[in-house]
Amino acid sequence: MKITVIGAGVVGLSVAYELASRGATVGIVDARGVALGATHATAGMLAPHIEAHSDALLTLGVSGLALYDDFIARLRHDAQQAIDYRRTGTLQVGRSAAEAQALREASQRLTARRTPHALLDAAGARLMEPALGDVAGALHIPEHGYVAVPGMVSALVAALARRQVAVSRAQVTDPTSLDADAIVIAAGSWIGDLLPPGPTVPVRPIRGQLLHLRLGRPPASRVLWGERCYIVPWQDGSVLVGATTEDVGFDETPTVAGVRELLDAATELLPELATASFHEVRAGLRPATADELPIIGQSATMRRVFYATGHYRSGVLLSPFTAGAIGDLILEGRARPELELVRPDRFGL
């Protein structure tokens, strides 16, 4: 079967990798090149119990997280590359009595869902992460983690190349004009460019700015999550600090205000970051739908077309799930039960 994937972000690359692994003949088309959309700015956190603000998103996120170990193991093997992927947990840090109280309430919700976690007092939090600034209480969720996305992308590209799948540079305007048995739209925030004129575009771009700092060694052993920012320490001493959430249209420019806000918040959480070197600021457009759930499945109006878009804040977390679900749909005609939550026809697609 011949399949074209539009979009070489983390979602499109993962979908292409899954389809090619299962024997399909795959081509990828991207207007910019590899991982230059939202994927370029992502933090790569895998933290559904913090990020999911609805039951449906939590269901998807937990399904996605459960697939990660196997997906990365397969990818490391196929690409013969190392990937910095660790499930060392998240530590949410409350700096005031009110924030500590909010963590106690979050702990009750986790208990009700039987999610393993530990509620810590200030001493317990400091024992776990000695470099913390002010802390009144903390919440540890051990099954969370992160993946360093540049390494994951590089491995996806290498694994795809081994299966003779390349990324060609082109702007697609009409997906139905493509010569393929199936077309997967993984165009992130730009899905509107690919739809026929008609109903309003179901995805809007939400800008996020992310800092890349560097220290000689990781300043913490796990992802730290404060009220105003999160910090992702990679094993090579890189430290990601994210992220702003800005509804500013298709503007991918980082701003002074965004950088200042993140630096203030990060040095409050981990004072040692004041000594870090400043490597880069990145900005990306998260593809957000009205219900903040992705759009995954077959088009109701264009039968050769499948959507894998609208992943908003969870595109990295959900990539293995989306890839597997699209593979099942196109190659086996089988719909995973979770796809009921993310049907394209809820937006008339």
Which chain residues interact with ligand FAD by CB under 6 A? 6-12, 29-32, 36-39, 41-45, 171-172, 186-190, 193-194, 208, 210, 242-243, 284, 286-287, 309, 311-317
Cβ distance to ligand FAD smaller for residue 208 or 344: 208
Q: 340: helix, coil or strand?
A: helix
Cβ distance to ligand FAD smaller for residue 226 or 242: 242
Q: How far is the CB of 282 from ligand FAD (least distance, A)?
A: 7
Q: How far is the CB of 324 from ligand FAD (least distance, A)?
A: 16
Judge contact between 171 and 161, C-beta under 8 A.
Answer: no
Q: How far is the CB of 245 from ligand FAD (least distance, A)?
A: 9
Q: How far is the CB of 47 from ligand FAD (least distance, A)?
A: 7
Q: Which of 232, 213, 227 is nearest to 88 (CA)?
A: 232
Q: Which of 91, 102, 105 is nearest to 47 (CA)?
A: 91
DSSP string spanning 292-316? S--EEEE-SS-TTEEEEE--GGGHH
Token pair for residue 276? 């870090």
Cβ distance to ligand FAD smaller for residue 94 or 258: 258
Q: 332: helix, coil or strand?
A: helix
Q: How far is the CB of 126 from ligand FAD (least distance, A)?
A: 25
Cβ distance to ligand FAD smaller for residue 100 or 224: 224
Q: How far is the CB of 31 from ligand FAD (least distance, A)?
A: 4
Q: Which of 64, 315, 303, 312 is nearest to 202 (CA)?
A: 312
Alpha carbons 45 and 87: distance in angstroms, whole number: 10
Token pair for residue 208? 């996020």
Strands 137-141 vs 90-94: parallel, antiparallel or unpaired: antiparallel
Exposed, middle or buried, 56 (CB in 10 Å: 0-12/13-18/19+)? middle
Cβ distance to ligand FAD smaller for residue 100 or 281: 281
C-alpha of 143 from chain center? 16
Token pair for residue 66? 């459960």
Cβ distance to ligand FAD smaller for residue 4 or 107: 4
Which amino acid is located at 136 in the chain? A
Cβ distance to ligand FAD smaller for residue 29 or 132: 29
Burial 116-134 (b: 16+ CB within 10 A, else e): ebebbebeebeebbebbee
Q: How far is the CB of 303 from ligand FAD (least distance, A)?
A: 20
Q: How far is the CB of 115 from ligand FAD (least distance, A)?
A: 18
Which amino acid is located at 70 in the chain? D
Q: Which residue has the tokens 């170990």?
A: 69
Alpha carbons 3 and 99: distance in angstroms, whole number: 49
Cβ distance to ligand FAD smaller for residue 100 or 308: 308
Cβ distance to ligand FAD smaller for residue 85 or 100: 85
Q: How far is the CB of 262 from ligand FAD (least distance, A)?
A: 10
